[in-house]
Structure 1
Amino acid sequence: MSTYFTEGKIFYPGFQFPIHHTSANCFTDGANKRDHYKMIFVISGTGILTLNNHKQIIVAPSALCLNETDTFSLESEVSLQCTAIFFHPQIINQHFDFPVLRASDHQLSLNEIQDLYWLNPFLRKTNEFMGLLHLGPSNARRIHNIIDNIKNALDIQLDDDWPCRSRTYLIEMLFLLSRLLIIDEALESVELDKDPGDIKEIILYLYTNYMNKITIQELTDKFHINRTSLTERFRGITGHSVMEYLISLRLYLASKMLKETLLPISEIIERVGFSDITHFGRMFKKNFGYSPSEYRSIHCTML
């Protein structure tokens, strides 16, 4: 079996945390079933991959999401540069062993069904989607940045929060990949066919840059659209203003980090793009009915 865990050093020595990073030999373990999931990020180059007996052309930048049963072999490549994240799905939910993930929805709890969302790119395989997501430049940069953050958190192990910190970065990566899969299919219930313009690209930009300060002026300049047109078209498609949509996205991610990790609330606030802790607390309670600390005490699976 391949090594998919990182071992604790100064903090939690000997502890085997089920996530691992490598930039070496990303395509060498594809012949047999694995004891982990694997996301290969193709940084540059091209290649031809046989994935579950189907030929796939890989063009950078792209993300290849592989579950424990996927078989693959790299037939040829030109200047292919990759990095990979290995993880066991129990890092998302402690009950997620492989038989559970193969069960039908009616055999899962509500919490397990909700947590399955993070693993959609690894589980929802069809003839049209076999795990390969082609990435635009901004999403590729974001994925690369998250992988670097995972690597640094695992390698440096800065303090006793390093497992939670690594896990939140993984959640961010899985969130983005899951959203890209949905956007690729239909962007959930957002009816993009009603708008021939740049609204899809703006939504993708929000998902990629939610951790940064974003203004309407920035969006109008970047996407060459006037403020009135942006406001009307965005609300017409999503049902929300741009800022409402962005705040909902940030709060959703914060709620998942509060629920799934013990990372300090102050760090979560910064990670999801809020700069004012009072404003964050007020908006969080308005949306979820509890303060962030109350929400964590009720919903966190690690307490």
Structure 2
Amino acid sequence: MNLFTKSYNPDWGRIVDMTVGKNSSLSENIKDETVFKYILHEKGKIELGNNGKSYMIKEPSLILLSDKDCPDFKALSKASDTVLYFKPSVLRDEFTLSALHGEKYETAFGTAVYQDYYLIRYFIKTEEFNERIIPLSAWELGRIKGLLDSINTELTTQYDGFWPCRSRSFLMELLFFTQFLCQTFEGNNKVLYEDDTNFSLITEYLNEHYNDEISLESITKKFNINRNKLNNIFLNKTSKTCLNYLMNLRIDMAKIILANTELPVSEVAGRVGYSDSNYFTKIFKKMTGSTPSAFRNSNSTCR
């Protein structure tokens, strides 16, 4: 199995170092040392062996493996797995494996390159292997599965010239969501109080649905909470109101897509929950000080 996708158009010759595989590809390629492996384990029982330890993987789970992770794989029952293979250089040309395993980007705080680096940092900087095995809820499973399907559709159909950009943008969105999951997983051992639980449930919802139409009224109704208490919880946790938290979430995702793809601004707006691209531009400029197009011109990583 090729762990890259080649353009169907022979005159273009474009290669994207990313592909999606199913069950059989996992046993064949799990030890590959040239790519990262993003494994969605949906059903069945599998066992991974790493450094003399065995890990029984529950369903559903997410497994993040870097190029240096070469675990032994055993299917203990009929399993259903989807694997995204990708080279980090899909995000940025400078993200070579040797550069990532050094400390080059660890101190680049506040820069666009650090923002992109942070999307894959959990693959390489999480020391304990079991901390990169993340149990998933049903909605988390659905969100990841949908994004993997979107990546696979772009790579396999190539229905327009934007397929490399669009598949890359879905990868960014997938890693952005995974970053949220990893941060949530890190905090699962803390003692939770009512406000913590409400905050966790609502932020999970916002991270799943930020590309949908969401209002303060719809949130208060869904979680049976009054708006004053809702905003007080978010102000205490984030120093932002609930809708400002959502706005920041949307604009952060928009910045990633704008900087790393050439997708039309109107499509980017729709991907982050704004049906009106003019309104999106107004909000984006208010939040960042520049228009989406100007931001892209200053921060583009597209080749």
What TM-score does the superposition give when structure 2 sets the normalisation length? 0.90
Q: Structure 1: how far apart are the matches of 2:30 and 2:81?
A: 18
Q: Structure 2: how far apart are the matches of 1:242 and 1:234?
A: 6
* Structure 1 position 11, deviation (Å): 7.7
Q: Which residue of 2 aligns with 1:15?
A: 14
CA contact (8 A) 1:21 1:86 kept: yes
What root-mean-square deviation, in Å, do the aligned CA atoms of Structure 1 and Structure 2 show? 2.4
Q: Which residue of 2 aligns with 1:261?
A: 261
- Taking a change above 3 Å as real, the CA distance of residues 113 and 229 of structure 1, as seen in their structure-2 partners, is closer
One-letter identity of the residue aligned with 2:185: D
CA contact (8 A) 2:40 2:83 kept: yes
- Taking a change above 3 Å as real, the CA distance of residues 282 and 11 of structure 1, as seen in their structure-2 partners, is farther
- Taking a change above 3 Å as real, the CA distance of residues 31 and 21 of structure 1, as seen in their structure-2 partners, is closer
Q: Which residue of 1 aligns with 2:61?
A: 62
Q: Which residue of 2 aligns with 1:288?
A: 288
Q: Structure 1: how far apart are the matches of 2:78 and 2:216?
A: 40
Greater displacement, 219-228 / 129-138? 219-228
The correspondence of residues 30-45 of structure 1 with structure 2, limited to 5 A, is 32-45=31-44
Secondary structure of the 1:10 match is: coil
Identity across aligned pairs (percent)?
28
Q: Structure 1: how far apart are the matches of 2:145 and 2:299?
A: 30
CA contact (8 A) 1:18 1:88 kept: yes
Return 5+ residue gaps in structure 2 as ranges: none
Q: Structure 2: how far apart are the matches of 1:268 and 1:252?
A: 12
The correspondence of residues 216-295 of structure 1 with structure 2, limited to 5 A, is 216-295=216-295
One-letter identity of the residue aligned with 2:172: I
The count of corresponding residues between Structure 1 and Structure 2 is 299
CA contact (8 A) 1:12 1:160 kept: no
* Structure 1 position 121, deviation (Å): 2.5
- Taking a change above 3 Å as real, the CA distance of residues 106 and 74 of structure 1, as seen in their structure-2 partners, is closer
* Structure 1 position 162, deviation (Å): 0.5
| 1:136 is the counterpart of 2:137 | yes
- Taking a change above 3 Å as real, the CA distance of residues 230 and 44 of structure 1, as seen in their structure-2 partners, is same
Q: State the Cα deviation string for residues 129-183 of structure 1 (Å, max 9, x = none).
A: 4421211111111100001100110111011111000000000001111111112
* Structure 1 position 220, deviation (Å): 2.6
* Structure 1 position 251, deviation (Å): 0.5
- Taking a change above 3 Å as real, the CA distance of residues 281 and 68 of structure 1, as seen in their structure-2 partners, is same
What TM-score does the superposition give when structure 1 sets the normalisation length? 0.90
- Taking a change above 3 Å as real, the CA distance of residues 244 and 11 of structure 1, as seen in their structure-2 partners, is farther
CA contact (8 A) 2:34 2:87 kept: yes
CA contact (8 A) 1:26 1:40 kept: no
- Taking a change above 3 Å as real, the CA distance of residues 237 and 246 of structure 1, as seen in their structure-2 partners, is same
Q: Which residue of 2 aligns with 1:208?
A: 208
